[in-house]
């Protein structure tokens, strides 16, 4: 996809905010290795830049979802440990070895088939245990024991880790979290030996639970966003790193009774100043955002009419020069639009909002 550098719309990422969030997490979780989740292009912030900034402040490694995401990091000079969290096809194993990417194993069939492919350079494996997420991983202690034994005896396999993933760590009610934790604990107790990394924590588990691992898979809170939305307070301040800004490309005085946008869903009720902003649903700024607001010169301005593919219109309180900054997410003077507010308006979670911003929007770092 062509990145639209010659348009004033951009995502601005504050790498110092990311580093500060990580420094707080490193202090909070002393003695544990932190692997930061930079999958989905660093949750929309830019995987390479975020990884480099995170490694500078002392995290150990990086988590991605696919082998291609890992290869992008390697091709950009990153040689830190990488763990791919998603199951890979057997045919992709040579790439995992070439690029030194640890991968999960979730079934015995996969393990046996993988073994057939291997020659000398060992494949690094993390045993995935499904304690109640219902996504990937072994369900029983017998299977986990068999997998562990098999890996230990296979000359071209290295047992690097064992992990599980919690489904309710971001909720106040912790009964189900306790149940998953107990299941994982029992599995660990049945193993004669543990690998180098035992990991169960995402951001929410790290912030709100005592976990039994020695490594953390830290994602959303690094980007300064509260994993629970607004339900729980983080134990240290989280600084959001992402702003979304643009500029007015046209401002016009529209007489009373005129339609704005496709379908004429908005009609001016008097003479109104209407501004056009070059961002739309093709950028991941969704049609449902109609009726929400942006900031111009420190004032909230309503998005009027339907959001188009590449543009949207806003109602301005007064005439404003073209080229004036428009803040869609972030601060302007004493006002702010947060990702949480956008997520609430869209009836979703901020994770989905940040991951939806398309590659067309350039990412700028400061």
Ligand X SMILES: Cc1ncc(COP(=O)(O)O)c(C=O)c1O
Contacts of 157 by beta carbon, 8 Å cutoff, 6+ apart: 114, 115, 118, 122, 123, 125, 150, 151
* Residue located via tokens 């980007």: 223
Residue 52 among the catalytic residues: no
222 in a labelled binding site: no
244 near ligand X, rule: CB under 6 A: no
Contact code string over 117-156 relative to ligand X, x by CB under 6 A: ----------------------------------------
Closest by CA to 205, choosing from 239, 240, 188, 181, is 181
Q: Give 157's strand partners.
A: 123
Closest by CA to 1, choosing from 339, 267, 360, is 360
* Residue located via tokens 């909070």: 28
- Please state the separation of Cα 191 from the chain's center in Å: 33
Q: In this chain, which stretch among 107-115, 199-207, 303-311, 358-366 interacts with ligand X, using CB under 6 A?
A: 199-207
Per-position DSSP letters for 193-229, written without gaps between them? S--SEEEEE-HHHHHHS----SEEEE-GGGGT--TTT
Q: Which member of 10, 32, 39, 124 is catalytic?
A: 39
Cβ proximity to ligand X, 204 vs 329, nearer residue: 204
CB of 196 to ligand X, least distance (A): 17
Contact code string over 79-118 relative to ligand X, x by CB under 6 A: ------x---------------------------------
CB of 104 to ligand X, least distance (A): 9
Residue 262 among the catalytic residues: yes
Q: Which member of 23, 262, 264, 335 is catalytic?
A: 262
Q: In this chain, which stretch among 72-80, 215-223, 251-259, 331-339 interacts with ligand X, using CB under 6 A?
A: 215-223
Q: Is 64 exposed, middle or buried (0-12, 13-18, 19+ CB in 10 A)?
A: buried
Q: Say how far apart CA 21 and CA 299 lie, in whole Å.
A: 29
CB of 299 to ligand X, least distance (A): 33
Phi, psi torsion values for 75, nearest 5 degrees? -70, -15
Cβ proximity to ligand X, 38 vs 251, nearer residue: 38
CB of 222 to ligand X, least distance (A): 8
- Residues taking part in catalysis: 39, 262
* Binding site listing for substrate: 135, 309
Residue numbers at the binding site for ligand X (CB under 6 A): 37, 85, 165, 202-204, 217-220, 227
């Amino acid at each position: 996809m062509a990145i639209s550098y010659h348009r004033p719309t951009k995502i601005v990422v504050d790498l110092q905010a990311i580093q500060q969030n990580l420094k707080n997490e490193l202090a909070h979780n002393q003695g544990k290795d932190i692997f930061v989740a930079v999958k989905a292009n660093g949750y929309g912030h830019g995987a390479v830049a975020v990884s480099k900034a995170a490694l500078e402040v002392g995290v150990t490694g990086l988590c991605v979802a696919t082998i291609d995401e890992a290869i992008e990091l390697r091709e950009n000079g990153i040689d830190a440990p990488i763990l791919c969290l998603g199951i890979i096809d057997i045919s992709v194993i040579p790439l995992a070895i070439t690029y030194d990417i640890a991968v999960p194993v979730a079934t015995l069939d996969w393990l046996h088939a993988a073994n057939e492919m291997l020659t000398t350079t060992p494949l690094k494996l993390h045993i995935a245990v499904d304690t109640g997420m219902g996504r990937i991983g072994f369900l029983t202690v017998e299977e986990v024991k068999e997998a562990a034994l098999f890996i230990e005896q296979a000359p071209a396999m290295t047992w690097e880790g064992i992990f599980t993933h919690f489904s309710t760590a971001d909720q106040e009610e912790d009964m189900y979290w306790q149940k998953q934790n107990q299941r994982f604990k029992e599995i660990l107790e049945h193993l004669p030996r543990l690998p180098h990394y035992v990991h169960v924590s995402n951001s929410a588990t790290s912030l709100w639970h005592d976990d039994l691992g020695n490594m953390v898979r830290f994602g959303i809170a690094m980007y300064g966003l509260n994993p629970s939305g607004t339900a729980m307070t983080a134990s240290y301040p989280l600084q959001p790193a992402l702003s979304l800004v643009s500029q007015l490309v046209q401002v016009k005085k529209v007489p009373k009774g005129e339609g704005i946008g496709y379908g004429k869903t908005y009609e001016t009720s008097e003479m109104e100043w209407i501004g056009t902003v070059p961002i739309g649903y093709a950028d991941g700024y969704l049609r449902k955002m109609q009726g929400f607001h942006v900031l111009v010169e420190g004032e909230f301005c309503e998005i009027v009419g339907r959001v188009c593919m590449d543009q949207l219109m806003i109602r301005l309180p007064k005439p404003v020069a073209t080229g004036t900054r428009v803040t869609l997410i972030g601060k302007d003077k004493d006002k702010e639009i947060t990702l949480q507010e956008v997520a609430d308006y869209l009836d979703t979670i901020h994770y989905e909002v940040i991951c939806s911003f398309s590659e067309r929007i350039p990412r700028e770092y400061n």
